[in-house]
Amino acid sequence: MSRLALISGRLERLRGRLLLFAPVCLGSGIATYFRLPVEPGALAWALIGLGALALMLIGLRYWPTRWTGLASLAFGLALVLGGLLAGGLRTETTRAPVLDFRYYGPVEGRIVTIDRSASEAVRLTLDRLRLDRVRPDELPVRVRVSLHGTQGFLIPEPGQRIAMTAFLSAPEGPVEPGGFDFRRMAWFDRIGAVGYTRAPALMLAPAETGLGGLVISRLRARIAQAVQAIVPGEEGAFAAAILTGDRTGIAPATLAALRGSNLSHLLAISGLHMGLLTGFVFTALRYVMALIPGFAAHYPIRKIAAVGALQAGAFYLALSGGNVATERAFVMVAVMFGAVLLDRRALTLRAVAVAALILLAAQPEALAEPGFQMSFSATTALVAVFGWLRDWDGPRLPRWLRPVSAVVISSAVAGAATAPYAAAHFNQVSHFGLVANLLAVPVMGTLVMPGAVLAAVLTPAGLAGLALNLIRWPIAWILAVAERVSGMEGALGHVPSPAPVVLGLITAGGLFAVLATGRLRALALAPLVLGFAIWSDTTRPDVLVSSGGGLVGSMTPAGRALSKERGEGFAAASWLENDGDAVAQVVAFRRGQDRDGAFRIGAARLVHLTGQGAAARVAAACAEADIVVVTAEVPEPPAGCAVYDKLRLAETGALALHVDGEGLRIVTEAEMSGQRPWTRR
């Protein structure tokens, strides 16, 4: 037998699991697209499309032959190229104008969504805009504005048309090279400008009626307000969050406690909530129909209940605002109940694969989002583990212990599967998260979510308050657990941000462990060990410079020292979080008070100049320094040193300076981000 035939034969053994590999191949192509340094041109896209078509035809030609294994490989490669095409198509279909100058003036628009910024300011996303001095063809589709200063003249509601005087600019890039790129997220949300106002926002027209008036968004807001009116305090804010996805009423301290105890997932309307809600509706409908004499004998009550549960899930999806986690959860339950309607097994890895394919095809950009990664890692791990346990031939626990063991196993498996992604994106690890989940999740499933469904059922009769007051105490228990666990000594650990390759290796290892069969699963240890090894050896930049030049952070034995104690707070907090250093900006500033604007980087010297007359001091600083960072414009920088003034930093973006065996190395944000549609300067 030839080597090619041997390879084909081995690949053919995976024939029954090809659907499971489809989202992996599609996701690999999407990940490759977003890592490209430049956007492919028309010729490149044509070649990619022809390549995908050719591979599909090859696969179809040899599928029912002795080369079926190689045909499967051709299909997989076609899906990889299809991922590239999906990313490019999504980028073009969401293309919208981006504001290319700093705007100050009147802003009119319709409120689309309401949330809060990191500083707890009310934040409005507006569409149907009117901006002075901006041509209609250059007008952004959406802008996002934070409300500061004296407000109180407007109670924001989706659908209202409002006016204000605001500062707007294009979405900003990463605060450090290789960091989170808000511009890309804004591009796919079609947000062409962000800003703030310190003047009062005023209503020009009330919300429209009908579907065109954002009826679902208004319904969300009104339900959230009604719930908090019935159940005041943090319990009511928690109830509003799990019912509508509106977290604006939850205090920062409560959010911090939930994150510190690894219970923040209870706020996200995702698989847990969707599964509990639809499962409760499904079970309740079956019991009600079974109680009707003769009904079960003449009608398929299981399928009728599945349709009813699916409708409840669809309404919950619309009410929640439709984030990625909720969409993934709805697709999962839709596939599950679809299997019930077709008399198939409901919860399998194939259902997870179908959900991933649907979401990746519709929203390729979701692949890079923490919600997508954590949601699918938890779901995949849970389905795989419980599938293995279902097929377990060894001794089993007594029946009365199985519900308890299911909760323990679910919490442990989901926590272990999501921990690397949570740590990588949020730079923290909850050491007692398993304990908190064991104490809180059963209460959420048995009391809170059924009570929420009961509240919805009783709403037409005006009795929702009865159910909401009943779930107040279980919610209080959950919040008490979060506060107690997060307050324990050593409850929260902090880790530095890993290199991009780390999550790729961890994901590859986890997928290989789930999708491979037999002894091949042992090979999954290689990428997992390598990924964690690279992460453990992470070295952060010796010096970071913000994109405006106003903030410099130098690594010291005590941690990163910042050049100022106030201002550019988002960049400062992001740098410290990415270092795995959970201290306030003022603490990091005090680490380097004696430097007086001078930073030693190996054998090189950097001088940071700010304030009035900074440009006039560049020449003197350049005589003593290798690098000068100045917040002013220096049209003719002196020779003898590298000058990063306001103009040059506008081109390079933030800087990261590394000292290694080859000396000083400067990495710019522009180099790392590449030339993509969302990175234009």
Are 364 and 90 in contact by the 8 Å Cβ rule? The answer is yes
- Separation CA 178–CA 672 (nearest Å): 6
79: nearest Cα among 34, 23, 12, 18: 23
For 88-130, what is each residue's pLDDT tens digit? 999 999 999 999 889 999 999 999 888 887 777 889 999 999 9
- Separation CA 455–CA 459 (nearest Å): 6
Would you identify the CATH topology of the domain 103-211?
OB fold (Dihydrolipoamide Acetyltransferase, E2P) (2.40.50)
SS3 281: helix
pLDDT value at position 444? 83
- Separation CA 72–CA 181 (nearest Å): 36
Residue spans of the domains in the chain: they are 3-93, 103-211, 218-392+402-494, 500-536, 543-679
Percentage helix, strand, coil, to 5, in the chain? 60, 15, 30
pLDDT bin (cut points 50, 70, 90) of residue 82 is very high
Radius of gyration of the chain (CA): 27
- What distances in angstroms separate CA 246 from CA 228, 276, 477, 523, 563, one per listed residue? 11, 19, 21, 43, 37
SS3 404: helix
- Separation CA 643–CA 630 (nearest Å): 8
Asked whether the predicted pLDDT for residue 218 surpasses 80, the reply is no
Asked whether the predicted pLDDT for residue 16 surpasses 70, the reply is no
Higher pLDDT, residue 265 or 228: 228
Q: Tell me which DSSP letter residue 580 carries.
A: T
268: nearest Cα among 216, 328, 310, 228: 328
Please report, to the nearest 10 degrees, the dihedral formed by the alpha carbons of residues 439, 511, 538, 492 taken in order. 0
- Separation CA 471–CA 245 (nearest Å): 17
pLDDT value at position 83? 96
pLDDT value at position 34? 95
Higher pLDDT, residue 270 or 418: 418
pLDDT value at position 213? 55
pLDDT value at position 46? 96
Which pTM was predicted? Answer: 0.87
220-229, 260-269, 301-310, 499-508, range with the lowest pLDDT: 260-269
Tokens linked to 355: 């959900």
- Separation CA 631–CA 628 (nearest Å): 10
For 408-432, what is each residue's pLDDT tens digit? 787 788 888 888 998 898 888 888 8
Higher pLDDT, residue 598 or 229: 229
pLDDT value at position 10? 62
pLDDT value at position 44? 94
Tokens linked to 650: 């506008």
